[in-house]
Amino acid sequence: MRHYEAMYIVDADTPDEVLDGIIVKYSKVVSEAGGEVVEAGKWDKGRRPLAYEIGKRREGMYLLMQFTSNSDVPKELDRIFKINDEIVRHIIVRQDPDEE
């Protein structure tokens, strides 16, 4: 099992109840595919201005998920992030456990 980190940005005006649902939805994708979510929630810095305007949005809410899984889970998560309109941008990176 490898360690991964997924950061994804949603619209900054999304209510907290909806954010909680989004976090649960993507955590469920990882766990149903055989991975284990270590931590998921709002990034410490949360709402931030975007480097450039994306779809007439100037700010975004940053969400962070750390998980362990085999190499198929990040591919599936990436595919799902790409087809959902609620995700503005995303990135999934493999973490080296020695650097933590």
Of 1, 3, 7, 8, give the one whose Cα is nearest residue 85: 8
Whole-number Å distance between alpha carbons of 89 and 9: 5
Q: Which of 2-6, 12-16, 48-52, 95-99 has the lowest mean pLDDT?
A: 95-99
**Which pTM was predicted?**
0.87
- The pLDDT assigned to 32 comes to 93
- Predicted confidence at residue 96, as pLDDT, reads 79
* Ramachandran angles phi, psi of 70, nearest 5°: -85, 180
SS3 23: helix
Kindly report, residue by residue over 39-81, the tens digit of the pLDDT: 999 998 888 999 999 988 999 999 999 999 998 999 999 999 9
Tell me the pLDDT band of 98, cut-offs 50, 70 and 90. Answer: low
- Residue 51 neighbours by CB distance under 10 Å: 7
**pLDDT, mean over the chain:** 91
Q: Phi, psi at residue 86, to the nearest 5°?
A: -75, -20
